[in-house]
Chain A
Amino acid sequence: MSVSADLKRTALFDLHCSLNAKLVDFGGWHMPVQYSGILQEHNAVRMAVGIFDVSHMGEIEIRGPEAGKLVDHVATNNAAKLKIGQAHYSALLYEHGGFVDDILVHKVSDTEFFLCVNASNQDKDFEHIKSHNHFDADVEFASEKYAQLAVQGPKALQVLQKLTATKLGEIKYYWFTDGEVNGVPSRIARTGYTGEDGFEIYVPPDKAEGLWNAILESGQEFGIKACGLGARNTLRLEAKMALYGHEITASTNPFEADLGWIVKMDKGEFVGRDALEKVLDQGINRKLVGFEMLERGIARDGYEVALNNEPAGWVTSGGPSPTLNRNIGLCYLPVQAAVPGTSMQVLIRNAPVAAVTVPTPFYKRAKG
């Protein structure tokens, strides 16, 4: 195995090596892309349960009497509406309305918020939030304090319940609580990036390996699999969850990205609001839409998309869908065409291959 010394490692790096994970450079982090194989790992999460090391994700803690005001100033969703113990998906924007990052906001108390942010954006996010902090609030870069394990799939609750006294069934989707898992102090959130039920657990890095092993053992009876970023990507794509650098970037805005639901224009002033106001006045030109290949061929990130063989947009994410057994993707198209049922072509090695826009998400779990 080639191991670069320049890449950052999570607390579980040695463990991944011992599990024969295939490691890749992911935004400066040495991360497992797969263990047993992406298809097996993907299917384990859809059918039973899988565990992911997502410790590369960043954490930012905001505390103080005006912590909530700062969050509402820098993020698009309405943090004032969060209850203690509740979380939501939100976005940090530049003044021009493009994305700094997409984030999860957790309300720990009236004076404390816990943000989970993308690994490769964490330094930028921290600086961005600090630069807009005109409030009575402290912003702490807290990534070193946490490892993060994601346990995802229909059996995730059963696997974890054996290891904790916290009644996991009482944690609603997008809520969280602080407790212990296998004796390790943990922030247990019922969130995820797979389209399945599951939990994301934030723990001290020096306890992560022990907890990982305990969860793997607890999940044995359900066929739990260690899962890498490869399966994480196919799972999130099927669920049409955005990936920074792909669907969302500094030059795309939330309305184009079909994320208008996390922008609360009526909550009052926030960074990027003026630009979004203009966008709403003028209307958007392009929009994110899902598609499915009709002919043989797999669309990949960055491929050009055409309408009637005229250049019209680009693929943001694409690949095979293991659950649906079809080749799917997301792309930007002119807004009039970005509705289900539009015939389009994906340029694969300069050859147009037929595809059609479809409703999303591609996959939605049956509510249990």
Chain B
Amino acid sequence: MSYPENFKYTKEHEWVSLDGDHGTIGITDHAQEELGDIVFVDLPKVGTAVTKGQTFGSVESVKAVSDIYSPVTGEVSAINELLQKSPEKLNEDPHGDAWLIQVKLASTSELNDLMSAADYQKYIGAE
């Protein structure tokens, strides 16, 4: 699977894509691959404050639970309802339909220290 050029990536395997002052957040294809069959996604409510580098939810596969860390600081403006009924979509389309949450950003400059698609692919290649 390809890693979109317009996304920014974290070392904890989340991605964020920016549209104005709204960021859409998900987990990477590498993350879903490592987790295996995903069976449960725990997300915060709309309006919850999230902080860059802090956990805001979890993804559970058959074998393990994994925390998700926010790549940005802001307030949750939407969550992906699709994942409540069909968590397995995260295995199928992690960079598209199976995004996790949308956040209204406190500051868009926070994205500067995240990885580009090329850097992230290098990072997971070396892991």
Contact = CB atoms under 8 A, between A and B. Distances in A.
A38 B61 CA distance: 9
A38 B36 contact: yes
A37 B63 CA distance: 10
Contacts of B1: none
Nearest to A234: B62
**Do most interface residues of chain A lie in helix, strand or loop, or is the interface mixed?**
mixed
Interface of B: 34, 36-37, 39-40, 42, 58, 60-65, 127
A39 B63 CA distance: 10
A200 B127 CA distance: 36
Contacts of B39: 298, 320
| Central interface residue in A22, A234, A300, A320, by most chain B CB within 10 Å | A320
Contacts of B62: 38-39, 42, 230, 234, 319-320, 322
Contacts of A37: 36-37
B115 to A, nearest CB: 19
Nearest to B63: A230
Interface of A: 2, 22, 33-34, 37-39, 42, 230, 233-234, 296-298, 300, 319-320, 322, 349
B24 to A, nearest CB: 24
Nearest to A229: B63
Contacts of A322: 62
B60 A298 contact: yes
27 contacts: A2-B127, A22-B34, A33-B63, A34-B36, A34-B63, A38-B37, A38-B62, A38-B63, A39-B37, A39-B62, A230-B62, A230-B63, A233-B63, A234-B62, A296-B40, A297-B42, A298-B40, A298-B65, A300-B64, A300-B65, A319-B62, A319-B63, A320-B39, A320-B60, A320-B62, A322-B62, A349-B58
A82 to B, nearest CB: 36
B56 to A, nearest CB: 12
Contacts of B64: 300
Given A39-B37, A298-B39, 10 more contacts: A2-B127, A22-B34, A34-B36, A38-B36, A38-B37, A38-B62, A39-B62, A233-B63, A296-B42, A320-B39
Contacts of A2: 127
A22 B30 CA distance: 13
A234 B60 CA distance: 14
A39 B35 CA distance: 12
Nearest to A230: B63
A37 B35 CA distance: 10
B57 to A, nearest CB: 10
A39 B34 CA distance: 15
Contacts of A319: 62-63
B27 to A, nearest CB: 17
Nearest to A231: B62
Nearest to A233: B63
Contacts of B37: 37-39
A34 B63 CA distance: 10
